[in-house]
Structure 1
């Protein structure tokens, strides 16, 4: 299994998992610009709970890698067109950039999560990412129909776990991001769902260990 320190240090390992952008929303809702594809430096900083300067410094150190994964800087006519077509539709009234604007795709934001050391949100994204990748690598391919009730129960448990992690938790993240007076209740409900997901993963791991022991000579 890839460990976190190796992920921070190795560009080739990072490139191997950059397709898993769904893990971003499992940790925290990522608000996008009205084009539905990009975020700004300030939005990246807000997502990870760091300063915009920290993001800019990261961009300077890893410009080539981030550019290869969807980061771009608009200037001149491209910036003017983006202001007219996208920023003008920003519901909160986006501060207009003077001469350039750096944009990040979801893939580039995930890239930042694998480079940013001093952010608890980035660390959580890496943890989810490594866990998801490990499960994808170790999950056996089985196209047969389960015949025994125990196998069927295990199959259902895995499906429920994936639904909780890939759909329900991101939904709660999005609701929490926009909630007002019910924010505390939503956070509590999300914590409950995450606890159930964790217990199901632990249950599945125990079943796998017991099954492995039963096959030993």
Structure 2
């Protein structure tokens, strides 16, 4: 089982759970920039209730890891375009941006933030439940097995195709940005509900156990 100390020390463990960004909002609401996807250094500091200096020092120590999870610094024409696209009124010459993955990455690195500790605790609880969920190795036939495959296929399509498509559209959109963000959020909610539905089905199947034999063999035994 992953513990907090191991998570703080091991990048490989952090890489294994960095997709679970929904745990961020379980602790407190993360305010986003108008693009609905990023936060600034100041916003990250506010979320974790630390100073910007603390966040900058953490970025300095772990920049390569954070960049692998979407952290970047905008300058020049790229910054000007982003300001125009997002409606940001600022004369800064550079702007550091954190997507939600990078924010969760920060939560797994900050040692002296109570909010970060709470995020890690929630993250570890979610990971423990995922790892200890019973695995059903039996072969299923009939409608239940088909439904199970459909649920997993739809979840895969939503997570790997539809949501990234919305992200790309949001990046390039103008006046319809809010509508696209709302649609993306609805799709992510459906994806989470399908995952929960799949887990409940697995638990029910495991609790019911194997069904008794019926038909010809049962008649012979009788």
Larger relative CO (CA 8 A, sep 6+): 1 or 2? 1
Gaps of 5+ in 2: 141-206, 208-222
Verify: 1:38 aligned to 2:32, yes or no: no
Gaps of 5+ in 1: 89-93, 145-210, 212-217
After TM superposition, the runs of 4+ consecutive aligned structure 1 residues lying more than 4 A away are none
- Show the counterpart of 2:48: 48
Distance 2:73 2:91 in 1: 11
- Show the counterpart of 1:167: none
- Show the counterpart of 1:159: none
Q: What pairs up with 1:191-206 in 2 under 5 angstroms?
A: none
Distance 1:119 1:51 in 2: 10
Residue 87 of structure 1 deviates from its aligned partner by 3.2
Distance 2:93 2:87 in 1: 14
Give the greater-gyration-radius structure (CA): 2
Deviations 1:133-170 (A, max 9, x none): 000011114598xxxxxxxxxxxxxxxxxxxxxxxxxx
Of 83, 90, 115, the residue aligned with 2:109 is: 115
Q: What pairs up with 1:45-194 in 2 under 5 angstroms?
A: 45-88=45-88, 96-141=90-135
Scaled by the length of structure 2, the TM-score of the pair is 0.60
SS in 1 for 2:112: coil
Residue 97 of structure 1 deviates from its aligned partner by 4.3
Distance 1:56 1:75 in 2: 17
Scaled by the length of structure 1, the TM-score of the pair is 0.62
